[in-house]
Amino acid sequence: MYVAVKGGEQAIDNAHRLLAKKRRGDTALPELSVSQIRQQLPLAVARVMAEGSLFDEELAALAIKQAAGDLLEAIFLLRAYRTTLPRFGHSVPLETAQMRPTRRISATFKDLPGGQLLGPTFDYSHRLLDFSLLAEGEHPGPESDPEATLAACPRVLDLLAAEGLMKPERGDDRAVPDITREPLEFPSDRAQRLQALARGDEGFLLALGYSTQRGYGR
């Protein structure tokens, strides 16, 4: 919001109408529904939910539609809505070793105990445009769903810890801080750092990972 800009209420109303017109696009074409965004843009919906800190696919899809596809704006919309919600409970950590993954890739182990699984990925699409998607109508999918799950797999961190390569983190009885409701203070503890990383911008986290991997982030 640009608080220093002059123009008055009429200018703001006009800006909102222009945005609505731009979002709608050509009225000769069917309007994009929230359910279509939810079902056909799952990665965008997942990113908005993750960075918006609110697990609700319908609301995330609505935010994407309202933001005309601007995921950063959609994330801000979802964060703003989240602040209006009451806190009625706390989640508990998942036992990830008991989960059935749909994608499991490791850069640490060549032969990962429990196996590796490509899952739905763009890694081997060669980044080539698929012009068949321009065709109108339903795009033919696979005749049968491939097996895309593994049995419960051991955690890689547990394997590294067993070899003395990973220092285990000892828990304590202190209350876990919530950076969505309390200001982030420095020096921050482990829980605050993990929460900030979990809600961080995807591009920033990717750059941070590469810089750390190559030794620049020490």
pLDDT of residue 28: 86
Q: Any idea what the Cα angle at residue 38 is, between residues 181 and 133, rounded to 5°?
A: 140
| Helix axes 42-52 and 71-82, enclosed angle (nearest 10) | 50
**Range scoring the smallest mean pLDDT among 57-61, 127-131, 148-152, 207-211:** 148-152
For residues 156 and 143, what is the distance between their CA atoms, to the nearest angstrom?
A: 34
Write out pLDDT tens, residues 62-74: 999 999 999 999 9
Write out pLDDT tens, residues 125-138: 888 888 888 887 66
Average the pLDDT over 158-182 and give the result.
78
Average the pLDDT over 151-179 and give the result.
77
pLDDT of residue 140: 59
Highest mean pLDDT among 23-32, 47-56, 167-176: 47-56
CB 114 within 8 Å of CB 96: no
pLDDT-derived band of residue 59, with 50, 70 and 90 as boundaries?
very high
CB 114 within 8 Å of CB 150: yes
For residues 162 and 142, what is the distance between their CA atoms, to the nearest angstrom?
A: 41
pLDDT-derived band of residue 2, with 50, 70 and 90 as boundaries?
low
Average the pLDDT over 184-192 and give the result.
85
Enter the pTM of the model. Answer: 0.77
Residue 150 carries which DSSP code? -
pLDDT of residue 44: 95
pLDDT of residue 109: 74
